Structure 1
Amino acid sequence: MIGGLHHVELWVPDLARAGRSWRLGETYIVVEESPALTSDVHDRRRPGLNHLAFHVGDRVDSLVAAAPSHGWTLLFPDQHPYAGGPAHYAGYLVDEDGFEVELVASS
């Protein structure tokens, strides 16, 4: 599936209270408790939405290359395209407001 939602990740202050994850087909929601949570100032690392991830087929590299002209900056450039792990080819982008998207290659 190209262009479909891959997953949504939510960061919460209390994982036991929020539960772990939910899945419907290939789309899932991840709920994580993270020691990296910050204050209540709007920040992608605070409780709530961390990022949206999309299936992009084989377009990770072309989309990442075009991203700066649309206001997006590559996160983790020293680890790109394996910032999510050695078997996860993806691009992680952030905009000037701190919103993050993950562009996930087909496996």
Structure 2
Amino acid sequence: MAINGVLHHVEVYVRNLDNSKQFYDWLLVDHLGYRVYQQWPSGISYILGEGTYLVFVQSQKLQQAYNRTNVGLNHLAFNMVGQDAVDRLRADLGRLPYHELYAERYPFAGGPDHYALYLEDPDRIKIEIVAVLA
């Protein structure tokens, strides 16, 4: 059944599609249950079930780097069922070349009742993984 207001998709332009694909394959497919939805020479999309999907497209305008404190997107946040699952993702992150944010305040960088992991994608877009109850 269709529901008004559900996010349909998000499209993000990236500096290096191969790097972004490697990161989001790891995060979305390996850990969050997404699957590759569409692929074409300059882009890829991932979908969760039959709902909202995320699109990543190779930008042709590379002179301006992304800065999450400028006007525009600050971060993407995803639910993950269980604190243990978030802990496992963090452990997996430690063996990869991706940067954890606020590591010294893990898992409560977002507040005392907000169990979450924060990291950056290859373009420095902040990703938040929020532990939720099943």
> Normalising TM by the smaller chain, what interval?
0.5 to 0.7
- C-alpha displacement of 1:72: 2.2
Structure 2 counterpart SS, 1:49: coil
Structure 2 counterpart SS, 1:60: helix
CA-atom RMSD in angstroms: 2.3
Aligned with residue 87 of structure 1, among 93, 108, 113: 113
- C-alpha displacement of 1:96: 3.6
Matches of 1:77 and 1:52, distance apart in 2 = 18
Residues 11-36 of structure 1 deviation map (CA, whole Å, 9 limit, x = unaligned): xxxxxxxxxxxxxxxxxxxxxxxxxx
Cα distance change of structure 1 residues 66 and 45 upon mapping to structure 2, 3 Å threshold? same
Q: Residue in 2 aligned with 1:51?
A: 75
Higher relative contact order (CA 8 A, sep 6+): 1
Q: Residue in 1 aligned with 2:127?
A: 101
TM value normalised by structure 2: 0.46
Residues 73-99 of structure 1 deviation map (CA, whole Å, 9 limit, x = unaligned): 110111110000000000000134211
Please show how residues 24-35 of structure 1 align to structure 2 within 5 Å.
Answer: none
- C-alpha displacement of 1:49: 0.6
- C-alpha displacement of 1:70: 4.5
Between the aligned residues of both structures, percent identity stands at 41
Q: For structure 1, which runs of at least 5 residues remain unmatched after alignment? A: 5-39
User: What letter is aligned with 2:118?
Assistant: Y
Tell which structure's C-alpha radius of gyration is larger: 2
Structure (1/2) with the larger strand percentage: 1
User: What letter is aligned with 2:114?
Assistant: H
Q: Residue in 2 aligned with 1:62?
A: 88
Structure 1 runs of 4+ with >3 Å offset = 68-71
Matches of 2:71 and 2:124, distance apart in 1 = 14
Matches of 1:72 and 1:41, distance apart in 2 = 18
Count of aligned pairs: 71
Matches of 1:94 and 1:68, distance apart in 2 = 13
TM value normalised by structure 1: 0.57
